[in-house]
Amino acid sequence: MIYIILINVYKIFINILTKDNTFNNSLEISSTFITMFMSKRLLKTAALGVIGLGTLASLRANEYDFGSIGIVRLGRAAVTVFIIGRHYQNELYASKLNRNTSEYQDLKSKAHKYGAEKLLELCCANKGVYIKVGQHIGALDYLLPPEYVNTMRVLHSSAPQSSFKDIITVIKEDFKKDPYEIFESIDPEPLGTASLAQVHRAVLKDGNVVAVKIQHRAVKTNSYVDIKTMAVLVKLTSLVFPDFKFDWLVDETKKNIPRELDFTQEGKNAEKVQQIFSHYHWLKIPKIYWEISSRRVLTMEFVEGGQVNDLKYIQNNNLNPYEVSSKLGRLYSHMIFIVGFVHSDPHPGNVLVRKQNNETEIILLDHGLYANLSNEFRVEYSKLWLAILDGDKSAMQMHCAKLGVADLYGLLACMVSGRSWNTIMAGVQRTKYDMQEKEEFQKEIPNLLPQISDVLQRVNRQMLLILKTNDLMRCIEYSLNTESRKSGMMEMSKCCIHSVYEEKLKSCTNTWARWKVSIAKQWILFKLSLYYVYLGTLNFDIKESLESLMKNEFYAF
């Protein structure tokens, strides 16, 4: 049954793509291969046996909820792909309209909207790993059609909920006691729901208010099925689209999901980042209550605030969006370029802001996924950024080669910076980011998807989470309307300089050499600070820029 579903999905892709002769040969080979492969009696028997055992195990784990078993979840995914593909074929590709006309663009937008809504339905039905993918899609403003981005963005804070009964059951199973022996009360309605868990407000017996993060009951069992499903669909996609390589996505998911499902590791990450950044008085990491935490339940200090991308909340609470953007840029730049320990899921639901002691406080939640960068990668990535800022083509090529991508160095530079190649060569720091550049970038990206896929397949694995983090940070800047000043880029430039010059200092053999490197570092920081003030004049916030400089925040680590 499972292979019949996959063949049907495969056929619809063939029907869509055979109008493009460049794919015909590879499609014929792939079709013959699959037909031979699927016709083997032994494979059929084994597949049915595995499916039968897997179905029984999945049914038991999901309390005999037939909608949650693996083959049903796979069926949903396959049918959704079929429906979306058929819709594009019938409504868009069969229209025969000239692609340069407004009629075609309107039709394409409607097809994208339909596909996005169907994909959202799939994510909400299958939950778990599918929600994670949907959240990432909702952050790729500069890369994907706006219809998909805007539709999937709802998953950042409104993922499907587990029932309160399931929540109580998880607590009982993990602590072997009635939840009301631990908590005085637990709010039945969650504060927020994410892909792997949801958070409830609760009151302890001593009166302290806490936030309790409880894993969705079946998410761990389903995640294994979902990853295998993703692997099958990726293999199928690779057969249909030989130029597209998505194996890296499966590999990263296999590696990251088990780490995110262990809440004890999340608690340790939270305490580690609190210790590393204790000098940032404006950063708040909720306290962990270890005595009421387990692998599936994490009890934390309850902290209130507004989502970092909620411009209305920021304005209503007299917060400065440029201050929010600047502090967030400083924090993540320090993580990436200096300490190499990076919170890798900064979607808006995981970053809150509030007014505290008359200044902006950043509240960082969800510490399940961190990138641990090697020293070699961290310094090499810093050098790549400085090459991009200088518009140094040969240096970009050299550092991209060391990161695994030599021939496509220009594309990697664009993916890293979120700027067009023309802007990079003209000078990122001298060119103001505007809607024209954004539209140019989005227009060119669809023509480069095979090359982007190739970059992602070949680049140093540590880069993948960094690219995701960059995408999410740019999404936040875009929501706050602060991308024109690129305050985050200024913070990042400072940290890159610090990282590269600290590495140079390590190789100095005498005092004179160390003195020369230190002077060079301070000089380049000073030039950058002048540019920071210049950008402030362009955005009519010169006062804030000068105040920041006078506080010596520009040089502070």
Three-state SS for 359-375 is EEEEEECCCCCEEECCH
| Dist. CA 534–CA 545, nearest whole Å | 9
Residue 175 burial (C-beta neighbours within 10 Å; 0-12, 13-18, 19+): middle
What's the pLDDT score for residue 457? 84
Full-model pTM:
0.76
- The residue ranking higher by pLDDT, 3 or 198, is 198
What's the pLDDT score for residue 22? 35
| Residue corresponding to tokens 């979607």 | 347
Band (pLDDT 50/70/90 cuts) for residue 549 is: very low
- Considering 226, 345, 454, 541, which one is annotated as catalytic? 345
Tell me the average pLDDT across 46-70: 49
* Crossing angle of the two packed helices 409-417 and 393-402, in degrees rounded to 10: 90
- The residue ranking higher by pLDDT, 224 or 328, is 328
345 is catalytic: yes
- The residue ranking higher by pLDDT, 143 or 64, is 143
Band (pLDDT 50/70/90 cuts) for residue 540 is: very low
Is residue 11 within 8 A of residue 2, CB to CB? The reply is no
- The residue ranking higher by pLDDT, 15 or 369, is 369
| Dist. CA 85–CA 431, nearest whole Å | 40
b/e code 494-510 from CB counts within 10 Å (16+ = b): bbbbbbbbebbeeeeee
Three-state secondary structure call for residue 520: helix
Tell me the average pLDDT across 528-535: 70
Tell me the average pLDDT across 147-170: 85
Minimum mean pLDDT among 81-85, 202-206, 341-345, 392-396: which range? 81-85
176-196 pLDDT, tens digit each: 999 999 999 999 999 988 888
Q: Is the pLDDT of residue 159 over 50?
A: yes
To the nearest 5 percent, what fractions of the chain are helix, strand and coil?
A: 65, 10, 25
What's the pLDDT score for residue 11? 44
Beta bridge partners of 209: 203
Q: Where are the alpha helices (DSSP H) in 429-485?
A: 435-444, 449-458, 462-480
CB count, 10 Å around CB of 540?
Answer: 8
Identify which of 451, 308, 320 has the alpha carbon closest to the alpha carbon of residue 366. Answer: 308
